[in-house]
Structure 1
Amino acid sequence: MNTHDVSDAPQFTQLLLKQKQNLRDAQSRKGQQLKGRKSREEIILQFRFRLMMKQGRADCKFNLGTYLLLRSITPPDRMTAIMAIVEDENRDVLMLQLYYQEEENERAAEEVLEEGTVLIVKEPYLKLMSDGDHGIRIDHLSDVIYFPMYDERVPKCWQLRLAECNVTASAWKAKGNDYFNESKYHAAIGYYTKALDCSPTVEEAHTLRLNRSLAFLKTKQFDAALSDLESASTNLKPTEKALFRKTQALYNLQRYRECCEVLKILRMEYPSNIAAKRELTRAVNRLAEQEKGGYLFKQLYLEATKLRPPHLDHSTYVGPVSLRASGSRGRGLFTTEAVKAGDLLLCEKAFVHAFVDTRKADNQDVALLINAETNSITMGSQAELIRMIVQKLYLNPSLAAVITDLHHGSYKPVGVSNVDGTPVVDTFLIERIISLNCFGCPLSSRESHLHVVEDEMSQRMKEEQFHSCGIWPMASYINHCCYSNARRAFIGDMMVVRATRDLAPDTEITFWYQIPVANGYDKRQKKFQHWGFKCDCTMCQDDQTTKKSVLAKRQGLRADALKYFQSGKRTDVAKIEIILATMADTYTQPAFEVPHLSIWDLQLALTQMYMQQKQPVKVIDSALRVLASLGYVIDGGNLPRASGTPMVVKQWGLMMDRLIERWVLLSGAYRLVAPDLEAQAEEYARISYRICIGEDEAFDETYGKLSDLNARP
């Protein structure tokens, strides 16, 4: 949704065709023996040269099966994968490529696959690379088991000095501490684990688990840290360190109520702990957001402006909605009580958010993700999103169901969640889930809105596509409808969902996956093939049943109107008015039942012309026609009118961003000819702003910056 899809872009079509051919070539070699293999020395020399030149890229793969015991014999290189040359016990060599590993700033390649690393690759498969060579590709993190050199399963020919085999738990702990002090936390975890296997005393085991828990926290393994801390506290009173580290694990797992309870105990037992006081305030704030939805949106904007990536320290609020079955649509969100237009339904923090800073000239994080099976190409950070989610689930298995329960189409996931004590994360399942549930997003919807209202007419109806993206699991359950009753907005990695109209209890929440435009039924439905459904909203039904001759006439009239708008002649206004009236006659159903998508943006442009000509009465009439064409039913707004008659929106229609501007213009026009309606129009502008942007705290600031809108007629 709103991701940058370039599947139909001519400049990328050849890439997709080449990728599909490479895949067919690789599949044709399945089960064959390798032919023309290079010598051991040649492969190593070529890799070392490539490591120096930092070149090389790979394309396709085919399955081998079984497992391999390997040892890396070169330093690693990092591109899209971490790579090194590996050998087996027979000294045969190939390149090994580990995908979806931590980023360099999280864990250096040398720590993942340093020279001399011994590992088992489960169910390996060969990859045919662009240079014609082969490599072993690993997509699933759980398909690799790393052996420390002291492990008895390491072949004797690869073993280093093993005088340490009978070292005491205390000595192993000291080694773990050394690695920890060098910030080599994964190695430290291995040594602490070895120490725990050496029959330590109760006190030693307590200290080891405390030490290992801190290393787990450093590596973002919050499940494991929590497990160690709970085990450490079984026989002994929890120490100050244990309590504090437990709060860190709980906080990062977003278990804020439990976190607050532990922090209260920590404050009571150790009142001089200043950090605990600060952390309790933070956890209480997150809990309040989680349970009441009390956000300070200006603070969120401030954080989103300063942080890169804009990952905000806030929690998810689920308002008056619940997850239920939705017939053939699978599952959906439904209201649990009556809500009004503009009410907050959901404010969700992204499970994972991959950010691309579009203000950077190089845009280094923008990549192409090619899916040869679905014939799709997306540009942005989707590939990075896959890596981030795979890592997060691998490090914290308790979170897996949040993602794996999401819609994944016809893909059949593996039936196990743990093998050899290691969590199984199906990377291919994650890729499919992302393709169906990923949201493209701006830095903030307010920033995006400012760009929309400043664009020329030719740019207004372009669908926004974003390189940044994320997964918001709860919002992913919201089904599509062109004539939607909710809107999503973004501030950093927070998504805000509000009702666009008054809703009764037990109403299904919907928002559009693709913005509805007047491009015909077939073109609109084509966009939904990716998700495997056809929209049957009133607008789609009306397009489907409207005769092609009528649609052609409507499109012709629209083209004529656009020509007159481009001419900019004052004398063409009357012609545009006639065209719009004629277009309205091509619709058989009233706009309050089926919005007239072909008309509203043209009527909006006409309103702008009236404003420039300083005709407030016509501005009011035209702005109300814009709203009416989108399904709004408004009483008391038309002129002439009896003084004191209130203006009331009896039915909210399709909510488009530019309607905020229309309400602002209405407010300015009413100020001149019907002052008692100015405040009412401004209030509806605020509600519309709240729906489209997610909040209204910045309404005055936003529209204060738009001088053209404040130059009232």
Structure 2
Amino acid sequence: MNFYDYLSMFMSENPHPTRSEILQRHDANRESLSSDGYHITNTHGEGSGYTSDASLWSLKRITLSQLTIGKVHRGHVLVCRTINKPIKIVSIMMAVEDPIIISNEGDTPPEVETGRVALYNFVNTSGPQSDMSNLIPVGTVLLIKEPYYKMAHDGMPMVRCDNPTEVIMVPNNGEDYPILAGLRWADTLGVSSLPAVKRRSGHSIESASDLQCRGNENSTRKDYAAAIDCYTKALGMEPKNVSLLLSRARTHLALQQFQQALKDTKAAAKVDGDNPEKQLLRAEALLGLRRNAESSAILEELAQSDAGNAKVGDLLCKIQKQAGEYEFGQYDILSIFQEAQSARLPYLNHADYVGPVTVVQIPGKGRRMVATGDIEEGALLLCSKAYAVVFGGELRHEGSSSTSAQSQLVAKIAHKLRREPKTTADLYELHAGQTMTPAFIERCDIGDNPKVDIDRITNIVRVNAFVPDVDHLPRTTADGPSSSGDQTRSSDPGKGLWLQPSFLQHACFANALHFTIGDLLFVRAMRQITKDEEVCVPFTSILEPYHKRRRSLQDRGLGECVCQLCSSERAQPQSTRDRRVQLLHEFDKMREVVATGGPDSLARLKDLVTNLRMTYPRASGGKTARSRKGGSAGAKTGAKTLLPPKQLQISLIGPLSVMVDLLSRSGQNEEALKVLLEIAEIEPRSGEIAHKRVDTAMRIARLYNSLGRVDERKQWVDVAKKECEVIYGADNGEGIWKEMYKKDKANFEMV
């Protein structure tokens, strides 16, 4: 029996701590928020998994003293009152007390039971906060539907609420809540029978009008989650307020929560009939739900009655544009990229596309994505909108960035399932690791209150999530893109789940490449793919050493990679792999010294490169099997593309790139050119190296330009353009190249 077993057994005999114990623990937690050593535990997987949809009027009152640990108290509602300032750690936590029942005015109030309440997913504020009384003032009456009572990690019980709809904060005197009839409160707070709860500013709890004003202010600041929270609370007081319904619908549209927006517009129409404003909002929601025919019918009718409405014309154009995206994969990548750059949170409204691929069941492997026919390099295979994504700008920093992103994505998916239960079938059929089999659910069996399986969702995210690119196009500087070709990324890039791309398999040397723009994920063929061949993308950086790539796959619950790179490295003696890791570690340590360009930096770096080469089998002499000028990489053998031995020497790319910088700074352009040409030989068109190939070609072009060798410069500019076309498509490649390298283009034209 472990510690928590003993603790639970003890608490079952003594389930309710005293008032002083609860208040002391709460004060200690508040003080710890200002301590640098404060540690927050991820508890997203510890909810009951149950969401109450019961009507308040159907529930019977239960008291804190009647709660049982580890139980969801179905059919009951807990009525309690806050007695101190709430704090926010991961959840909003507060101490509460039971009401008292007094039959006669002269009776002495009995001692009341005290407990703790933790409200999860109630606010969108960042980080811990020591005072949340602006949201829940001291003395607020809470009605908690079907409460879940559990043991917390600190050894004291609490009522845990994961869904804001399960908690009602009673406004004003609560005259509309019969369940409060006859109840009074102890005089600890100096509050008589259910008065208007006071904020620190002295104002009463907000009315529906106040909440709508605050919601409008939040919406203007683009704090849409807070705006929806205000509108929802206001609608709890005035459920038939059309202005509130339409305000919330607009905010749902801003967050691309189209199903909720459609529901609000329909509810508003039921109250006082339809009108152009509601029809336009409904058409926009239907467009977001890919119900283009219904949206188009509404818009065409509006266009006839209101020909001058620019918004109607814009939406009709968007429908036509999305038809081209959906049917033919015709995306204007550069404009989509600029659209994402201009948005604080890049939720984009574009159509999905499925190209010459399909998902099939492969015996012994499970469901995999394969080619439906022979595919040429550069072909668009998929464009998919995220099922759910958390961008870096949305992260609440409650731990390490990776843990925070994953836990918040799990919470967002759980919310989405409650809002859109029909998506449960698509989500639960995804691979959830070695220990969980996919759950195939018939859509007709899904009700309005689906089971939210946090463990399964967590495993699905762990195995299938992708990290959104912060800036997948190289950032231009005064001298062009960064010389090393590295992509600048945020320390907290976030995490997202895309359903269709979750059937892609991993390979370090993959036949396809994925990149994201906002919440859109694109997949393109990086070489020819034969009919029925599995489509693979790299799930980890192929520039990492073998042991790190392997550990990254294990963290995702995946097995060994069998690509050519991993197979060749596994075949090497362990001592050789260890020596390579040691040399790369030495290179990381000498980076700062080398960057200063000390007198012996170049010599030290050359020695390291020489030793690093010795950890690879000697490449055969003569011409490489792949010419950058010829475009396609490798020799095709059946469904496999065998890369030449030179392209297996990936670990040389980093040190050689730094060597080019040192040689260029010292004016040794001829030597720098030789090293760059070797890098061009090594770089395969796979993973993040596909983007580096573009930059390498342009660096070579710049050096040829500085040496006055115009013909060679033109050849390598063409190579760079060709690589852009493979990554972004023939229709987009040259335009993106011009945007990325416009300063180079201008400099070359001057020669």
Instruction: Give TM-score scaled by structure 1 length.
Output: 0.70
Question: Residue 539 of structure 1 aligns to which amino acid in structure 2?
Answer: L
> Residue 498 of structure 1 corresponds to which residue in structure 2?
524
Identify which of 507, 513, 517 aligns with 2:539: 513
Q: Tell me, what secondary structure is at the counterpart of 1:664?
A: helix
Task: Give the Cα–Cα distance (whole angstroms) in 2 for the partners of residues 511 and 451 of structure 1.
Answer: 33
Q: Tell me, what secondary structure is at the counterpart of 1:30?
A: helix
Q: How does 1:468-547 map to 2 (within 5 A)?
A: 468-517=494-543, 519-520=545-546, 522-532=547-557, 533-547=559-573
**C-alpha deviation, 1:263, in angstroms:** 1.9
Identify which of 231, 251, 262 aligns with 1:185: 231
Task: Give the Cα–Cα distance (whole angstroms) in 2 for the partners of residues 537 and 332 of structure 1.
Answer: 16
> Residue 629 of structure 1 corresponds to which residue in structure 2?
682
Task: Give the Cα–Cα distance (whole angstroms) in 2 for the partners of residues 322 and 657 of structure 1.
Answer: 26
Is the 1:452–1:460 contact (alpha carbons within 8 Å) kept by the matching residues of 2? no
Change (3 A) 1:289 1:26: farther
Task: Give the Cα–Cα distance (whole angstroms) in 2 for the partners of residues 700 and 392 of structure 1.
Answer: 40
1:683 correspondence with 2:683: no
Q: Tell me, what secondary structure is at the counterpart of 2:144?
A: strand
Q: How does 1:299-448 map to 2 (within 5 A)?
A: 299-357=335-393, 365-368=396-399, 378=402, 380-409=404-433, 410-411=435-436, 422-447=449-474
Q: How does 1:170-181 map to 2 (within 5 A)?
A: none
Question: Residue 407 of structure 1 aligns to which amino acid in structure 2?
Answer: H
- For residues 387-406 of structure 1, the C-alpha deviation after alignment (integer angstroms, 9 at most, x for no partner) is 33333332333444454443
> Residue 251 of structure 1 corresponds to which residue in structure 2?
287
Is the 1:479–1:511 contact (alpha carbons within 8 Å) kept by the matching residues of 2? yes
| Higher RCO, 1 vs 2 (CA within 8 Å, ≥6 residues apart) | 1
**C-alpha deviation, 1:437, in angstroms:** 2.5
Higher mean alpha-carbon deviation, 407-416 vs 284-293, is at 407-416
1:659 correspondence with 2:693: yes
**C-alpha deviation, 1:495, in angstroms:** 3.1
Question: Residue 285 of structure 2 aligns to which amino acid in structure 1?
Answer: A
Task: Give the Cα–Cα distance (whole angstroms) in 2 for the partners of residues 249 and 404 of structure 1.
Answer: 26
> Residue 64 of structure 1 corresponds to which residue in structure 2?
70
Task: Give the Cα–Cα distance (whole angstroms) in 2 for the partners of residues 80 and 413 of structure 1.
Answer: 30
Question: Residue 562 of structure 2 aligns to which amino acid in structure 1?
Answer: D
Is the 2:115–2:158 contact (alpha carbons within 8 Å) kept by the matching residues of 1? yes
**C-alpha deviation, 1:135, in angstroms:** 2.0
Higher mean alpha-carbon deviation, 40-49 vs 440-449, is at 40-49
> Residue 699 of structure 1 corresponds to which residue in structure 2?
737
Is the 1:442–1:466 contact (alpha carbons within 8 Å) kept by the matching residues of 2? no
Task: Give the Cα–Cα distance (whole angstroms) in 1 for the partners of residues 602 and 244 of structure 2.
Answer: 76
Task: Give the Cα–Cα distance (whole angstroms) in 2 for the partners of residues 284 and 538 of structure 1.
Answer: 44
Change (3 A) 1:525 1:58: closer
Question: Residue 137 of structure 1 aligns to which amino acid in structure 2?
Answer: R
**C-alpha deviation, 1:255, in angstroms:** 3.7
Task: Give the Cα–Cα distance (whole angstroms) in 2 for the partners of residues 451 and 329 of structure 1.
Answer: 49
Task: Give the Cα–Cα distance (whole angstroms) in 2 for the partners of residues 112 and 217 of structure 1.
Answer: 28
Change (3 A) 1:472 1:311: same
Identify which of 592, 605, 628 aligns with 2:644: 592
Change (3 A) 1:136 1:262: same
Task: Give the Cα–Cα distance (whole angstroms) in 2 for the partners of residues 57 and 653 of structure 1.
Answer: 36
Task: Give the Cα–Cα distance (whole angstroms) in 1 for the partners of residues 183 and 475 of structure 2.
Answer: 58
**C-alpha deviation, 1:535, in angstroms:** 1.0
Question: Residue 185 of structure 1 aligns to which amino acid in structure 2?
Answer: Y
Q: Tell me, what secondary structure is at the counterpart of 2:382?
A: strand
- For residues 370-403 of structure 1, the C-alpha deviation after alignment (integer angstroms, 9 at most, x for no partner) is xxxxxxx835533333333333332333444454
- For residues 177-226 of structure 1, the C-alpha deviation after alignment (integer angstroms, 9 at most, x for no partner) is 99868855334544666xxxxxxxxxxxxxx5977863762673753554
> Residue 97 of structure 1 corresponds to which residue in structure 2?
118
Is the 1:592–1:653 contact (alpha carbons within 8 Å) kept by the matching residues of 2? no
Q: Tell me, what secondary structure is at the counterpart of 1:367?
A: coil
- For residues 648-701 of structure 1, the C-alpha deviation after alignment (integer angstroms, 9 at most, x for no partner) is xxxx99945432232123434566687545434222212334566896434234
**C-alpha deviation, 1:227, in angstroms:** 5.2
Is the 1:667–1:682 contact (alpha carbons within 8 Å) kept by the matching residues of 2? yes
> Residue 263 of structure 1 corresponds to which residue in structure 2?
299
**C-alpha deviation, 1:483, in angstroms:** 0.8
Is the 2:700–2:716 contact (alpha carbons within 8 Å) kept by the matching residues of 1? yes
Change (3 A) 1:253 1:84: farther
Task: Give the Cα–Cα distance (whole angstroms) in 2 for the partners of residues 28 and 450 of structure 1.
Answer: 62
- For residues 223-282 of structure 1, the C-alpha deviation after alignment (integer angstroms, 9 at most, x for no partner) is 355457668989999543442232233234354454233322332355455543333334
Identify which of 103, 113, 119 aligns with 2:144: 119
Task: Give the Cα–Cα distance (whole angstroms) in 1 for the partners of residues 482 and 703 of structure 2.
Answer: 22
> Residue 161 of structure 2 corresponds to which residue in structure 1?
138
Q: Tell me, what secondary structure is at the counterpart of 2:314?
A: helix
Task: Give the Cα–Cα distance (whole angstroms) in 2 for the partners of residues 50 and 561 of structure 1.
Answer: 45
1:30 correspondence with 2:8: yes
**C-alpha deviation, 1:592, in angstroms:** 1.8
Is the 2:352–2:383 contact (alpha carbons within 8 Å) kept by the matching residues of 1? yes
Task: Give the Cα–Cα distance (whole angstroms) in 2 for the partners of residues 328 and 243 of structure 1.
Answer: 51
Q: Tell me, what secondary structure is at the counterpart of 1:33?
A: helix
**C-alpha deviation, 1:482, in angstroms:** 0.9
Task: Give the Cα–Cα distance (whole angstroms) in 2 for the partners of residues 474 and 396 of structure 1.
Answer: 18
Task: Give the Cα–Cα distance (whole angstroms) in 2 for the partners of residues 591 and 704 of structure 1.
Answer: 33
**C-alpha deviation, 1:546, in angstroms:** 1.9
Q: Tell me, what secondary structure is at the counterpart of 1:439?
A: coil
- For residues 528-549 of structure 1, the C-alpha deviation after alignment (integer angstroms, 9 at most, x for no partner) is 1122211111222222222335
Task: Give the Cα–Cα distance (whole angstroms) in 1 for the partners of residues 237 and 602 of structure 2.
Answer: 81
Q: How does 1:12-23 map to 2 (within 5 A)?
A: none
Change (3 A) 1:379 1:560: closer
Question: Residue 320 of structure 1 aligns to which amino acid in structure 2?
Answer: P
- For residues 449-492 of structure 1, the C-alpha deviation after alignment (integer angstroms, 9 at most, x for no partner) is 979997798x9799996443322333332211011122233333
Task: Give the Cα–Cα distance (whole angstroms) in 2 for the partners of residues 573 and 77 of structure 1.
Answer: 54
> Residue 93 of structure 2 corresponds to which residue in structure 1?
83
Change (3 A) 1:24 1:704: farther
Q: Aligned pairs, how many?
A: 628
Question: Residue 500 of structure 1 aligns to which amino acid in structure 2?
Answer: M
Is the 1:583–1:599 contact (alpha carbons within 8 Å) kept by the matching residues of 2? no
Task: Give the Cα–Cα distance (whole angstroms) in 2 for the partners of residues 41 and 382 of structure 1.
Answer: 37
Change (3 A) 1:277 1:502: same
- For residues 8-44 of structure 1, the C-alpha deviation after alignment (integer angstroms, 9 at most, x for no partner) is xxxxxxxxxxxxxxx9644542354263854447747
Question: Residue 136 of structure 1 aligns to which amino acid in structure 2?
Answer: V
